[in-house]
Structure 1
Amino acid sequence: MHKDIDQASLDLALQLTLAKLKRQSSEQLQMQTVTAVLLALGSNHDSEQHLMTVGKNLAELGDIKLSSALQNPDFTASLQQAKPDYINQCVYLILSLPMSLYKLQQLFKQLEDDCNRCRQHPASAIRQVTMDIDILLVQIENDADDWIVVLDRYPFKAHERAGIEELAVVSL
């Protein structure tokens, strides 16, 4: 029981901390020079291979710290249409060379494409996602002590909050 109370306290502290952070849309941040990011990775097809490949590629951009990989059901699955579970992982990346958020987004899209990400699926097909990379939080060059929440991704999903907590990127 004590562990549950501690976890609840940690969850509350994280929520309060995230609530205090600045929030901006990715459009507002496009031309900002980014020094570090917190990413959410997800895959429901050949996940182990794609997470490993993307992890290696991200490590070429700077120092990385990975959260545990978590298995999560596809929230769009139903009894009528079962769908494969996702494997999700968060990554804290400190860039060796700061770059604009726009350029980072292009690099991440290329990493998804390198994993043969298919963005067009027939309506009847079960969607196989080899790799999805989402930017959750950024640090910008002139404000390196504070994280900015990417508004398009907030509120965070449970596995994203767990990854942020595990990586202890946001100080509680």
Structure 2
Amino acid sequence: MMHKTMQKLPLELDAAKLKEIAPERLQGQSVAAVLLALGSNYQAKYYFPRVHKSLAALGEIQITTAFQNPDFTATLEHPKPDYTNQCVYLSLTDSTTLQQLQKIFKSFEGDCNRQRPIEPATIRQVTMDIDILLIKLDSKNNNCSDEWMIMADRYPFKAHESAGIVELVESSL
């Protein structure tokens, strides 16, 4: 079920115009909006509302249905807990650089008690993971067109990310 803060947000994406850009090329650019992927495999019902509140403090948000998915790195020998995933469209009240946004999102993960294990073989309890899938640069501050860009390190999108993007676009029509 779609959760809206305030009004329906206009999210227009033309898939044919989307460009993949390496995040390091955009670090200092002012961002007007982002499309995020949230993930949690531990107490998602507690941590999702918490991070929604934090994101809403940055601007207006639109939230997709939450999907439960198996951890794609799980095997029969090494089972792992399922993830709850969700996409969020965030239209920022004040534009900020991509680098600043990434730091803010890391602090939100920390506020949700996110622990990053040192040993790769350990089963991780991920309270909150926030990934930026798409960004829309602030055309006033960047001398650029009003287009969305794919974060190259997140593409191709996972099935639940694609489903979330489609849900957000269709709900804004």
Q: Are 2:138 and 2:146, in contact at CA under 8 Å, matched by a contact in 1?
A: no
SS at match of 2:146: coil
TM-score, length of structure 1 as denominator length:
0.85
The answer to whether 1:79 aligns with 2:76 is yes
Paired with 1:44 and 1:80, the residues of 2 have a C-alpha distance of 19
Is 1:126 the equivalent of 2:123?
yes
Q: Which runs of 5+ in 1 are unaligned?
A: 1-16
Q: Which amino acid aligns with 1:32?
A: Q
Partner AA of 2:159 in structure 1: A
1:46-65 residue pairs with structure 2 within 5 A?
46-65=43-62
Instruction: Tell me how far apart the structure 1 counterparts of residues 63 and 147 of structure 2 sit (CA, whole Å).
Output: 20
Residue 36 of structure 1 and its aligned partner are, at CA, apart by 0.2
Aligned CA RMSD, in angstroms, stands at 2.1
Give, as a single letter, the amino acid of the residue that structure 1 aligns with 2:24. Answer: E
- What is the Cα deviation at residue 121 of structure 1? 4.2
Shift of 1:52: 0.8
Unpaired runs of at least 5, structure 2 = 1-13
TM-score (norm 2): 0.85
Please name the residue that 2:169 is paired with.
168
Match in the other structure for 1:10: none
The one-letter code sitting in structure 2 at the alignment partner of 1:163 is G
Deviation at 1:128, TM superposition (A): 0.8
Matched, 1:22 2:22: no
Residue of structure 2 equivalent to 1:68: 65
Match of 2:147, as an amino acid?
D
What SS class does the counterpart of residue 79 from structure 2 fall into?
coil
Answer 1 or 2: which has greater helix percent. 1
1:136 corresponding residue in structure 2: 133
Q: 1:121 to 1:127 in 2, by over 3 A?
A: farther
Distance 1:94 1:159 in 2: 21
After superposition, give the CA deviation of every residue in 1:22-67 in whole Å (9 maximum; x if it has no partner).
2111101100000000000000001111111000110000000000
2:4 equivalent in structure 1: none
* Whole-angstrom CA distance in 2 between matches of 1:100 and 1:39: 15
Distance in 1 (CA, whole Å) between partners of 2:108 and 2:145 is 26
Q: How does 1:39-50 map to 2 (within 5 A)?
A: 39-50=36-47
